Amino acid sequence: MAASVALHLTPEDEAKLDGSWGEGMAMAMRIVVALARLSQAPRLIDVASAHIDGCLYHGQAGLDFAEKLVHLGATVAVPTTLNVSSLDLLHPGLVRLEAAEAGPARRLMDAYVALGARATWTCAPYQISSRPSCGTDIAWAESNAIVFANSVLGARTARYGDFMDIAAAITGRAPFIGLHVPANRVPTLEIDCSAIGAHVLATDAAWAALGFAVGRAAAEEVCILTGIDPAFVDEDRLKALGSTAASSGGVALFHVAGSTPEAVVAGVAWPVPGTRKVAITADALRAARDELTTAAGVGGQLDAVSLGTPHFSLTEFAKLAEVLDDGVPFDPGCQVWISTSRAVLAAAQEQGYAEVCEQAGARFVVDTCTYLVPILSESVRTAMTTSGKWAWYAPGNLGIDVVFGTLEECVASARAGKVVRDESAWE
């Protein structure tokens, strides 16, 4: 089983590898070349930006790795954003990490900033300025950011993760493999959504449920969703779809006929005749909703609501502020958390949305996320969310029960202090 593909390196690649550009560059280039050989890439390509997931603390090794790069004088060669960390630096004490973990977690954040990355601390880098354009090769980590960049922006990224993300940022290079290769971006599965009623697709949560079903149907295949009126499509909904599909399956690229950029360009050429086809119905969305719910049904006590996984956008803040505009507060026994980025929180404060949410009793988390680190009170047993990704991971990560529902259901439940369901939204 000897490798059959020879990797071609340019003279500049070779120079980066042999230390002519410094020891930090050489270390990063060794990692890029190792991945290229491992994945049988024929050559490397330039990447225009990087998004780093390595800044979340998983132990001493990740910190030693980042600090070694700093020590060897490495810096990023392309604009680089940082994913969530293990701490909320704007709200000290909010994350209940012991000093033995909080110290190194903070040092890890500092190391990535020292390498030249922007202190964005968000899993939704696509919500902040300078987004990659359609057709641009990038090296992004974090499954929801990867699927959004590929699907909604039409940028091209393979699935990057810890160590490789920063190596690509420092070298500005990545192996020409996977979704960087145009031929690999053509859908091989059609998912017919025409049987889902228009009023079901009118809630954002339905798109998370749809994403769950898409992840199950597509696994790691590239799919195209057909039969969806472009009038229902927006970025918040595609964020919900993609992040959930990347959790329940390994989806890194989906297309929506008539809506997402590559599907619009392909027009009637996609799906290619003979493409395998499956259908998703409103029943499947209801089943997804129930599979994303671990808590016993309606009427049970609710201790918390968590919104903003992936990070809450400015438009999601606007929608929430509208629902909360009648001034009814949340039940004091139910804590409401909104995870977002510093940049979006600042904009929401400027627009007045943040104040409306706070008056109702909501609290904000930035730089990190409520499903990754201890933020919810230890007394919380049952939490509700609009996020398919949060519903998927929180029971295992936090040891709590979850109810997945629409924003309206979450708000009504937080006000009642118990789980409220509106079946009409799902039929």
Is 183 near other proteins (CB under 8 A)? no
Tokens of residue 395, six digits? 């029971």
Q: Which of 42, 59, 103, 230 binds other proteins (CB under 8 A)?
A: 59
* 54 or 132: CB nearest other proteins: 54
Number of H helices and E strands in the chain, helices first, is: 15, 14
Among 25, 29, 62, 402, binds other proteins (CB under 8 A): 62
**Cβ 58 to other proteins, closest distance in Å?**
4
Pick the binder of other proteins from 16, 118, 159, 239 (CB under 8 A).
159
Segment contacting other proteins by CB under 8 A, of 11-19, 59-67, 318-326, 342-350: 59-67
Q: Minimum Å distance from CB 393 to other proteins?
A: 9
- Here's the x/- map for other proteins, 207-246, by CB under 8 A: it reads as ----------------------------------------
CB of 16 to other proteins, least distance (A): 15
- x/- binding map, residues 37-56, to other proteins, per CB under 8 A? -xxx------------xx-x
CA 425 to chain centroid: 25
Q: Give dist(CA 170, CA 172) in Å, integer.
A: 6
350: left (phi over 0), alpha (psi -120 to 50) or beta: alpha
Rounded to 5 degrees, φ, ψ at 84 are: -60, 150
Calpha distance 206→119 (Å, rounded): 32
At 120, the amino acid letter reads T
Q: Segment 383-412, which members bind other proteins (CB under 8 A)? A: 396-397
DSSP 278-337: EE--HHHHHHHHHHT--S--TT-B--EEEEEEEEE-HHHHHHHHHHGGG-PPPPTTSEEE
Q: Are 215 and 185 in contact (CB under 8 A)?
A: no
Nearest to 295 by CA among 384, 192, 219, 185: 384
Site for other proteins in 90-119 (CB under 8 A): none
Task: Read off the tokens for 268.
Answer: 């009637």
Q: Which is nearer to other proteins, 2 or 268 (CB)?
A: 2
Binding to other proteins by CB under 8 A, coded x per residue (else -) over 21-40, reads ------x--xx--xx--xxx
Using CB under 8 A, which of the segments 11-19, 154-162, 199-207, 352-360 binds other proteins? 154-162
CA 273 – CA 85 distance, rounded (Å): 45
Among 21, 112, 121, 160, binds other proteins (CB under 8 A): 160
Which residues make up the interface to other proteins (CB under 8 A)?
Answer: 1-3, 27, 30-31, 34-35, 38-40, 53-54, 56, 58-62, 64-65, 68, 141, 143, 159-164, 396-397
